[in-house]
Amino acid sequence: MAASRRADELGRVEQALIYAILGVASLAYNYNFVLIDFIRPYLVSDNGMTLAQTAWLYTAQGSGVIAGSFAVPAVITRYHAKPVLVAGAAALAGLTAIDLAVTAFAPWLVSRFLVGIALTTTYITSITMLANLFPPRVRGRLLSINMAMFSVALLIIGTLGSQVGAHGWRTLVAVGAIAPLAVALVVFVWLPSDDGLVVYADEEVATQAIDARGRWSEMLTHRRRWLTAACLLLAGLNFSGYQFYSGFITTYLTTVRHFSAELTAVFVSIDGAGTLVGTLLWGWTADRFGRRTNAVGFVLAAGFIVAFLVAPVRTPVLMLVEFGYAVCLSCTNVWAAYFAELFPVRLRPMGTSLFHGGHIVSVFAPIVVTIVARHFSLAVGMALAPATFLLGAVIWAMLPETLRTGVLYRGFAADAPRSGLAAR
């Protein structure tokens, strides 16, 4: 892409191509992110791992995500998004393929740590580019739809899982290796470079060139450190709540409710359908009323979890409650835009990375569930999720509103002399 080109001068065809490519990248990222949660019971039955060891696999992946969250933004500011995205997707493909060749716990542990770094690379590059290339008035919806690839990934893995059954989980891993390889090739060939591009900041026209390098030290200055800490904590509570409940839903349904592998996969597909519907709902809400209004989704999600754990063993009832939970869980898809908007353009890779930096808080969440399950029951461990989501709703409501047309906007600007929780 030519130097000094403006994002608001991109043609419709070029915009559509960029959006489609980054959507596919998000799909590959999300598929690999949820892969461990889905195949957890089959790693126990076929690979001989314990439930606690499968929890450690998530912890290893989360640790890699944490490492990548703090290392990748500096790489992006130096080399720009396109080459970093190609490298991250290719690495994700190779590392996932390794899991097909081994069965022992130790190699899986190492590979999932490295997968975590590759996942973060794919996420930060694609979301930063989307935030820079599209204006605020549609950013919530566009980035939310991009994040809806999480829903599509659940639908795909649920549908494939119901077809291949309990002993076909290696097919799911193979798909997780092929998809990011295809992304790396497509990005390399067709995605234009973002080097020298004039991008959108808080205005509806492109005003800032990507020429200044952001530094983590700026995120920890007095004017921004509370925003940084709050975003990390909020993201961590989201991941913790998700792991407390969704991370063990397949295990819960197969071992507590005694559902078949095929029926369990249907519930994963329901999660995908619900989050997809929720993405459209919450994306529109965020662009119409503001980013903070989506916090109500956390409150509703907590209620649906409680209902699911105490509901009678009636499949239609459980399906309906699970669908409601999934719809509400999608309220966080706006964070793709929100965390970027809270910081200046030069710091957007850092702001975006705070989403995954939240794994600092949640990295041991699966292990906590296994400990509670050992002493009480799996349902009790999963019941930690509602309290976690409610606390997240409180913190979210305290953050500034970034959308200037939002009903809760109080004059916040990312480049203001003072930015923080008080600037609501």
Q: How far apart are CA 42 and CA 54, in angstroms?
A: 10
**What fold is seen in the domain 7-398?**
Growth Hormone; Chain: A; (1.20.1250)
In this structure, of 112-121, 205-214, 235-244, 356-365, the range with the lowest mean pLDDT score is 205-214
Kindly state the tokens that stand for 246.
């969704």
pLDDT of residue 422: 44
- Mean predicted confidence (pLDDT) in 115-120: 94
Task: Check residue 209 and give its pLDDT.
Answer: 63
Alpha-carbon distance of 25 to 123, in angstroms, equals 8
Candidate ranges 99-103, 196-200, 257-261, 419-423; pick with highest mean pLDDT: 99-103
Give the pLDDT band (50/70/90) at residue 421.
Answer: low
Query: How distant, in Å, are the alpha carbons of 29, 58, 95, 367 from that of 110?
Result: 18, 11, 10, 17
The whole-number pLDDT of residue 194 equals: 74
pLDDT at residue 85, rounded to an integer: 94
136 or 264, which is more confident: 264
pLDDT at 229: 93
For the chain, count helices (H), then strands (E): 19, 2
Select, from the ranges 89-93, 248-252, 371-375, the one with the highest average predicted confidence (pLDDT).
89-93
* 311-314: long-range contacts, CB 8 A cutoff, minimum separation 24: 313/257
Q: Tell which wins on pLDDT, 370 or 235.
A: 235
pLDDT-based confidence at 207, cuts 50/70/90? Answer: low
Question: Would you call 221 exposed, middle or buried from its count of C-beta atoms within 10 A (0-12, 13-18, 19+)?
Answer: exposed
Asked whether residue 312 carries a pLDDT value surpassing 80, the answer given is no
Which has the minimum average pLDDT: 179-188, 237-246, 415-424?
A: 415-424
Only one residue has tokens 């710091």, namely 347
Q: Provide the pLDDT for residue 424.
A: 44
**Greater model confidence, 215 or 120:** 120
Q: What is the dihedral of CA 386, 329, 72, 76, to 10 degrees?
A: -150
Beta bridge mates, 206: 200
Judged against a pLDDT cut of 60, whether residue 420 lies above it is answered with no
Average pLDDT over residues 6-28: 85
Mean pLDDT for 14-20 is 87
Distance CA 73, CA 351 (A): 9
Between 29 and 365, where is the model more confident? 29
Q: Which of 277, 286, 390, 269 is nearest to 330 (CA)?
A: 277
**Contact between 385 and 371 (Cβ < 8 Å):** no
% residues pLDDT > 90 (the chain): 32
d(CA 221, CA 229): 11
- Give the residue with greater pLDDT, 284 vs 312: 284
Mean pLDDT for 209-222 is 78
State the chain's mean pLDDT as an integer: 85
User: Given a cut of 60, is residue 21 above it in pLDDT?
Assistant: yes
294: its two tokens:
């989506």
DSSP 104: S
Give pLDDT tens digits for 253-279: 888 888 887 888 888 888 888 988 998
Compare 175 and 345 and report the one with higher pLDDT: 175
Work out the pLDDT band at 210, boundaries 50, 70, 90: low
Specify the pLDDT at position 151: 75
For 397-416, give the secondary structure using H, E and C: HHCCCCCCCCCCCCCCCCCC
Q: What is the pLDDT of residues 322-363, one digit of tens each?
A: 999 999 999 998 887 788 889 887 888 888 888 877 878 877
Residues of the chain with pLDDT > 70: what percent? 94
Coil, helix or strand at residue 280: helix
**Is the pLDDT at 214 greater than 50, yes or no?**
yes
Tell me the domain boundaries of the chain. Answer: 7-398
In the numeric block, which tokens belong to residue 166?
């309990």
Q: What is the mean pLDDT of residues 237-262?
A: 86
Full-model pTM: 0.74
- Helix H or strand E encompassing 324: helix 315-329
Distance CA 242, CA 134 (A): 29
